[in-house]
Amino acid sequence: MTEKTLSQTKYSVLDLAPVTEGGTPADSFKNSVDLAQHAERWGFNRYWMAEHHNMPFIASSATSIAISHVLHHTDSIRVGSGGVMLPNHAPLVVAEQFGTLETLFPGRVDLGLGRAPGTDQLTAGALRRNLESDPNEFPEQLEELRGYFAGENRIHAVPGEGLNVPIWLLGSSGFSAQLAGQLGLPFSFASHFSPNNTEGALRLYRQQFRPSDVLDEPYVMVGVNVIAADTDEEAEYLATSLQQQFLNLVRNTNMLLQPPVENMEDVWTPREKLALMQQLGSSIIGSKETVRAKLESFLQETEADEMMVISQIYDHDKRLRSYEIISEIMNT
């Protein structure tokens, strides 16, 4: 097999619409539009937003509306969900929402789907009104959703029916990897928070893959945290905001995205540090030269067709600079 190179690999953006300490969700959406416009100019392939609930530091809970906002302020970049958590919604509603987006912005909309709730159990109950919806019912929900787009259901999704909205399956374990392979759908793996499962899930997807009307061969996108700056030292400093975010999740302390700190040893315990290093083990942090070398290594390990980059950085200008550095790497 010929080794893939960074220049042959597509790059995309995952935006969690971070709400920073001292900022508001309105600021987050303004920053999302600005980042998407820059990403479009810099040659990124797609721009995805994620559904999370009851997390004060993430503003993109009404994901389809946030996607629409970005679509209205960009011209060509693909925009979609990374992902919509299907168990939280009636498949008909998802078909109508993304059918509407595809009708308004033809050929620019992606529908990435996850089977996790994207929140805690109490909030999941508030979203669904009950918890009878079992994540193991995800294949049936997916079949119903695809049926609306294909016009195979008794009920018609308008807009939606007859439209080609590309569906991706997202996962952090083997379940969605196997299902995506069996259905011949593209697969996106959340290596940015589940690095230890990456190799096994991608192998399972490729082993289980069956050609379909959608794909002739497997297509893998891998999420990866990248904190790039002009020096290694600055990047390590900026990355402490990401580390604090995951630490607050571990501690179950609902805090906005925090500014960077000089020394994380003053913030976490040795046990917490060990746990976070396991979860953030695939993160790529450093200068352009460091990031390039680590991306090349990551690409050879995963053989990804596309990388979806998450730069969770407190300062918006520094966040833009991180993606700019990535664009310089991918365009040389």
Question: To which H or E segment does residue 84 belong?
Answer: strand 78-85
What does the pLDDT look like over 202-237, one tens digit per residue?
A: 999 999 999 999 999 999 999 999 999 999 999 999
Write down the pLDDT at residue 278: 87
* Cα→Cα distances 255→19, 56, 250, 318, Å: 9, 7, 12, 21
DSSP single-letter state for residue 6: G
Write down the pLDDT at residue 319: 98
Q: How many CA atoms lie within 13 A of 40 on its CB side?
A: 16
Write down the pLDDT at residue 129: 55
Question: To which H or E segment does residue 121 belong?
Answer: helix 121-128
What does the pLDDT look like over 174-188, one tens digit per residue?
A: 999 999 999 999 999
Write down the pLDDT at residue 282: 87
Beta strands in 190-311 (DSSP E): 220-228, 284-286, 306-310
Write down the pLDDT at residue 116: 79
Whether the CB-CB separation of 31 and 257 falls below 8 Å is answered with no
CA distance 210 to 34: 39
Write down the pLDDT at residue 122: 80
CA distance 106 to 211: 25
Low-confidence ranges of the chain (pLDDT < 50): none
CA distance 290 to 63: 33
Write down the pLDDT at residue 132: 62
Q: Which two three-digit tokens encode residue 100?
A: 């509407």
Write down the pLDDT at residue 133: 56
